[in-house]
Amino acid sequence: MASSDLPEAGEHLPRRSRGWWAVARYGLGLAVLALVIVLLVGKRGELTGALQRLRDVQPFWVLVAVLAEIGAVLMLALLQRRALSATGVRPSTGLLYLLSMANLGIANSVPGEPVVSGAYRYRQYRAWGATSAGSAWTLFIVLMSQAIGMSALLLGGVVVALATGTGGVGTEAAFGALVIILAAGAVLVRRDLLLRLASVVVRIAHRATGRRTTGSPAGSIEVALQQMREIPLSRRATVEVAALGAGFWTCDFVCLVASMRAVHSGIPWHGVLLAYGAAQVVGSVPVVPGGLGVIEGSLSVVLVAYGMGHVAAVSAVLMWRLVTYWLMIAAGWSAVGALEWLSRRRPVLARNAPGVPEPAQLRSCQDEP
């Protein structure tokens, strides 16, 4: 079976199981959101003060926050472009920018993350000429690069907090972040070992069930994993994707700092980076789309713990989420419509025809920008 016959994620799961799981996650997310609303109502005075600050924002810093978030989307687009180029597919940066916005819009508004936005990107990669193996490879590289970037920022926040002696953090958090960085980096450098291990696991699972591998979904997966191992990624390219992953989170962090300035809030430099990293880690748990309510609550609490006033913290977080969450939903779904319109005007948006390039062709372009 050709690699292009690789089944979509979740295609062979029972529909009833998928439905119950989606309902359970959505219900849990609504419960968390309701709890956040109850807590906010109990702090009505602080919420009123925060909303008052939002009516008196500084336009310059709002512009800086928006530009920083635009930069974050650009980092994600360049990261995908670098990963796709290793497979021999090179969509334009403009198309990948639209895809990055669409991905963030879907992730912030649709339950079932990260599966839904990942499946959307996968289908776009395939439409642009990437094979199933190349598309899965790109998703894998983007995920590892973002994990390295977030862990690096979290480690930096822990180091700053420890160096300033502010308390509230420990060496365990720094050790955990360092372990994630080293593990994700090792996966990028020796990804062939991980993919080979995944192939072995698939083969063992099918032997245990007594099913034939050839012609089965597992056989397609094994073929795709074999092809993913043949996609080269030089040391230079590995450093580039890791740097782009860190650049994505750095731009988003700059957006938070600019949002604080926009609402006339002081910045607790000794703890703001750690607060940002901790909130993103908590919000990455797939309970509600985009961590709605979870990120706001956790970030506000940590900022207050590091010396910000309650009103200042809440207003800064609301300003930041207005740009990175609500504005991104509007821009993201507009990008979804734009990509759909472009796909109908030009069915083949990629320069490359579908197919797996020869390994020699891939190796010849691995060091190209």
Residue 105: its pLDDT value, please? 94
pLDDT of res. 72: 97
Q: Which of 105, 68, 128 is nearest to 257 (CA)?
A: 68
Q: Cβ distance 139 to 114 under 8 Å?
A: no
Q: Which two tokens stand for residue 235?
A: 């040391």
Q: Where are the domains of the chain?
A: 3-364
Return the closest-CA partner of residue 146 out of 173, 120, 107, 185: 185
What would you measure as the largest C-alpha separation in the chain, in angstroms?
68
Q: How far apart are CA 369 and CA 182, in angstroms?
A: 25
Instruction: Compute and round to an integer the Cα radius of gyration of the chain.
Output: 22
* C-alpha to C-alpha distance for 207 and 50, rounded to whole angstroms: 60
Q: 54 is written with which tokens?
A: 């939002």
Are the beta carbons of 259 and 316 closer than 8 angstroms? yes
For residues 224-244, one letter each, b for 16 or more C-beta atoms within 10 angstroms of the residue's C-beta and e for the rest, the string is bbebbbbbbbeeebbebbbbb
What tens digit of pLDDT does each residue of 175-218 get? 555 555 555 555 554 455 455 545 555 555 555 555 554 544 44
List, in order, residues 6 or more apart from 210 with CB less than 8 Å away. Answer: none
CA atoms within 13 A on the CB side of 53: 26
Whether omega for the bond prior to residue 59 falls within 30 degrees of 0, making it cis, is no
Q: Rounded to an integer, what distance in angstroms lies between the CA atom of residue 66 and that of residue 364?
A: 38
Beta carbons within 8 Å of 237's beta carbon, 6+ residues apart: 82, 86, 366, 367
Where does 164-216 have alpha helices with state H? 171-189, 191-209
Residues 6+ apart with CB under 8 A from 293: 32, 33, 35, 36, 37
Nearest to 320 by CA among 291, 287, 290, 296: 296
CA dihedral 2→100→196→229, nearest 10 degrees, is 70
Place of tokens 């998928």: 18
Alpha-carbon torsion (123, 124, 126, 132), positive or negative: negative
Whether the Cβ atoms of residue 268 and residue 121 lie closer than 8 Å to each other: no
- Which residues have a Cβ under 8 Å from the Cβ of 65 and sit 6 or more positions away? 255, 258, 259, 262, 319, 320, 323
Contact 86, 237 (CB under 8 A): yes
93: amino acid identity, one letter: T
The DSSP symbol for 347 reads S
Q: Walk along the chain (369 residues) in steps of 10 and give the mean pLDDT of each run.
A: 40 50 59 59 62 86 97 96 90 95 92 82 92 86 86 82 63 53 53 51 55 50 50 78 94 97 92 88 77 84 87 91 95 95 69 42 45
Q: What is the pLDDT of residue 344?
A: 84
| pLDDT value for 333 | 96
